[in-house]
Amino acid sequence: MRIVLIGAGNLATQLGKALVKRSKHEVLQIYSHTVESARTLADQLQVAYTTSIDDVVKDAELYIVALKDAVLSEVIPELVKGRNKKAIFVHTAGSIPSRIWQGYACRYGVFYPLQTFSKQRDVLFSEIPIFIEAVDKTTEEQLNSFASSLLCRKVYTVNSEQRCRLHMAAVFACNFSNYLYTISERILIDSGLPFEVMYPLIDETSAKIHRLSPHLAQTGPAVRYDENVIGKHLKLLADYPEWKKLYELITKNIHHDQLRFNQDKGTRV
């Protein structure tokens, strides 16, 4: 397929690399509002770029919009206007419904890869679950075969609400976990210890839940509600009032869930 990438951020960069280096598709052009981002990605992929939505190629077969959610509703009408009526238009956002395209494009949908992307760090699309939504069956099939052409092995069809819930689940498991790592790093540095001592524990915590439901994998002072240890930690957290609040809230939640689980034992999944 002849593809235009609208966006030059983390996801667009990784998707662009996968398309150019590991697929038979042709990337015609990169669009980004920011000239530096557009040029950097276009240079990497050795394709053309533009910073003006009017100059986006008119006859591509697939337009992939990987922009910040906040600008989508502004860019979409301008993008679709005057472009190939038979083209497929997709966005890549977890929490934006597919109906954002309604009234503009005829053939549209969503191509949502569930992963955290950085420009510097390459990822294999073959390992990433892809969530597709499409306006009709033909478009859905074409998006499915597009995913297969990227070697994606896990492709799911979901509706907009499911995808929004999925995104929310990802925010907890990824963005928020990463924030807990930043707290951990700060505490270690402030204690004169390198953050790398935490790597094996972080690795094991994430590896463990492939085999064991995280509910069953839960350990630590909160599970047994060890007031002595919890009290010591809260005392040390006096210097970090925001993290203290967070410590208290999560500890309380873990403890309550554990109590509920023990009450329900045997009936709960």
CA distances from 213 to 120, 177, 216, 261, 269 (A): 32, 17, 5, 13, 10
Residue 14: how many other CB atoms lie within 10 Å: 22
114: left (phi over 0), alpha (psi -120 to 50) or beta: beta
The residue to which tokens 């009408």 are assigned: 77
User: b/e map of 211-241 (b: 16 or more CB within 10 Å)?
Assistant: eeeeeeeeeebbeeeeeeebeebeeebeeee
Q: Residues 25 to 64: which contact a second copy by CB under 8 A?
A: none
- Per rule CB under 8 A, count of chain residues that contact a second copy: 99
State which of residues 103, 238, 262, 269 lies at the interface with a second copy (CB under 8 A). 269
199 binds a second copy (CB under 8 A): yes
From the list 138, 204, 259, 264, which residue makes contact with a second copy (rule: CB under 8 A)? Answer: 204
Q: Which is nearer to a second copy, 84 or 195 (CB)?
A: 195
Residue among 104 and 156 whose Cβ is closer to a second copy = 156
From 136, 148, 213, 260, residue interacting with a second copy (rule: CB under 8 A): 213
Q: Does 84 bind a second copy (CB under 8 A)?
A: no
Considering just the CA atoms, what is the radius of gyration of the chain in Å? 23
Q: Is 71 a residue that touches a second copy (CB under 8 A)?
A: no
Under rule CB under 8 A, residue 156 binds a second copy: yes
Tokens 């510097």 identify what position?
120
Sites for a second copy among residues 86-145 (CB under 8 A): 94-96, 114-118, 120-121, 123, 127-129
Q: Interaction with a second copy in 158-187: which residues (CB under 8 A)?
A: 158, 162, 164-185, 187
Q: Is 254 in the site for a second copy (CB under 8 A)?
A: yes
Question: CB of 160: closest distance to a second copy in angstroms?
Answer: 10
Q: How far is CA 150 from CA 48, 216, 239, in A?
A: 22, 35, 49
Nearest to 79 by CA among 98, 97, 99, 60: 60
Nearer to a second copy, 23 or 258 (CB): 258
